[in-house]
Structure 1
Amino acid sequence: MSPRRSYDQYCSAARALDAVGDRWTLLIVRELLAGPRRYTDLHADLPGVSTDVLASRLKDMERDGLATRRRLPPPAAAYVYELSGRGRALLPVLQALGEWGAPLLAERRPTDAVRAHWFALPLMRSLAGLGDGVIHVRLDEGEFHVRLGSVDGPVYGEGPAPEEPDARLTLDTEACSLLGRGDLTLPEAVRGGRITVTGEGPLAKALREA
């Protein structure tokens, strides 16, 4: 394990950057907010990271108490990484960072990789205040689900949720990007037909009446 690098400053921001300021660390947190992930899954959803760097960052995160590694019971018998409470506490940090960086997504570059679930955290900002529950989201790029009000567990996940969602949203990737950047509001998207809402529960009703 590489020695810990430090800014050697008695400052909370500097100490935080000691732990999460290295390249890829916060993006690993983004992936693990979806719940336990295998190393191979993390590597697949972090295009551009080398295997050596990913392994090093995960070891650093274990050392700093941000993540843990455990073996799944048979028949899986695979190792997964998951966030600790300290790691999950980085959710508002990522939300704020994503909001700050949203204007930079005005143009998608030809070299940009994309995964459907990368839209989960920005979309959750638009859905805040509607109530707790599970929402299934279908984009051009794929499907994911978000868990509004989740405290201890995953806040989103790739693909459909294992349980029946409280509401289903269908929208195109452009509309999702506009919502994330704040260039389109949720009520505008629903009223303008940019978002199709299905479901009969309170959360689906709140979405239709947003």
Structure 2
Amino acid sequence: MPRQQQSAARPVRRRSYDQFCATARALDAVGDRWTLLIVRELLAGPRRYTDLHADLPGVSTDVLASRLRDMEQNGLAVRRRLPPPGAASVYELTGRGRGLMPVLAALAEWGAPELAERRPTDAVRAHWFALPLLRALDGLSHAGTVEVRLDEGRFHVRAGDVESGSPVYGDGPAVRADVCIALDAEVCLELAHGGLSLAEAVGGGRVEVSGEGPLATELRGG
């Protein structure tokens, strides 16, 4: 049998660190380049392949397709067909995939100081600031949807208790926001790494709060 045919018949072995260690097992599933950034995108809810590709500048179509297949095999994501009139396929996280949210939040907090200067080659999307900002909103006594307005665009986050399985943030304006806040990326990053509290930012006029209701009142310090 030709060598090429022998190679084709050989089963593909999944890459593994082959270590009986929880960290190694976790990295077996999410340690490949781009996987955690795909999780970041899917934390906003179901996304089409084309939307994922648009919001992951730099990833090739082959690599994105490969990572999504791996995530399905590892039980992190599923692909499903939307009912009419949508009739499109979307990817969404499983419960196990959503369990990576604290991991992404911790990485965002750890990496925030590295964003002191934006490089000329850096791409940016407004919703990439969602996970860092969630840290500043943690601990609010009132729950609700917060629409965030940056120069880079808009996104929305869910403050307070989030129903199990619900997205913790979303791209674009909220369908129905309980409060809107306007700030710039610099303030958002200061909030992310703890150099500034939300109360200090609002009190100093660096965050503008608009809206009525208990959540808006709390954010204003009332």
TM-score normalised by structure 1 residue count? 0.96
Distance, in Å, in 1 between the alignment partners of 2:45 and 2:170 is 7
Distance, in Å, in 2 between the alignment partners of 1:208 and 1:98 is 26
Distance, in Å, in 1 between the alignment partners of 2:172 and 2:13 is 38
Q: Match for 2:47: what amino acid?
A: R
How big is the shift at 1:185?
1.4
How big is the shift at 1:174?
1.4
Distance, in Å, in 2 between the alignment partners of 1:143 and 1:63 is 33
Superposition pairs of residues 30-49 of structure 1, within 5 angstroms = 30-49=40-59
Question: Which residue of 196, 202, 216 corresponds with 1:190?
Answer: 202
Question: Which residue of 150, 165, 170 corresponds with 2:182?
Answer: 170
3-state SS of the aligned residue for 1:75? Answer: coil
Distance, in Å, in 2 between the alignment partners of 1:84 and 1:154 is 11
Residue 141 of structure 1 corresponds to 152
How many pairs were matched up?
Answer: 209
3-state SS of the aligned residue for 1:69? Answer: strand
Q: Deviations over 1:6-50 (max 9, x none)?
A: 000000000000000000000000000000000000000000000
Gaps of 5+ in 1: none
How big is the shift at 1:147?
1.2
Question: Which residue of 171, 179, 185 corresponds with 2:191?
Answer: 179
Spell out structure 1 runs of 4+ moving beyond 3 A: none
Gaps of 5+ in 2: 1-10
Question: Which residue of 72, 75, 80 corresponds with 2:85?
Answer: 75
How big is the shift at 1:160?
1.1
**Residues 2 and 94 (structure 1), Cα distance of their counterparts in 2 relative to 1, 3 Å cut:** farther
CA RMSD of aligned residues (A): 1.3
Identity of aligned residues (%): 72
Question: Which residue of 124, 130, 133 corresponds with 1:123?
Answer: 133
Residue 143 of structure 2 corresponds to 132
TM-score normalised by structure 2 residue count? 0.91
How big is the shift at 1:200?
1.3
Distance, in Å, in 2 between the alignment partners of 1:2 and 1:190 is 55
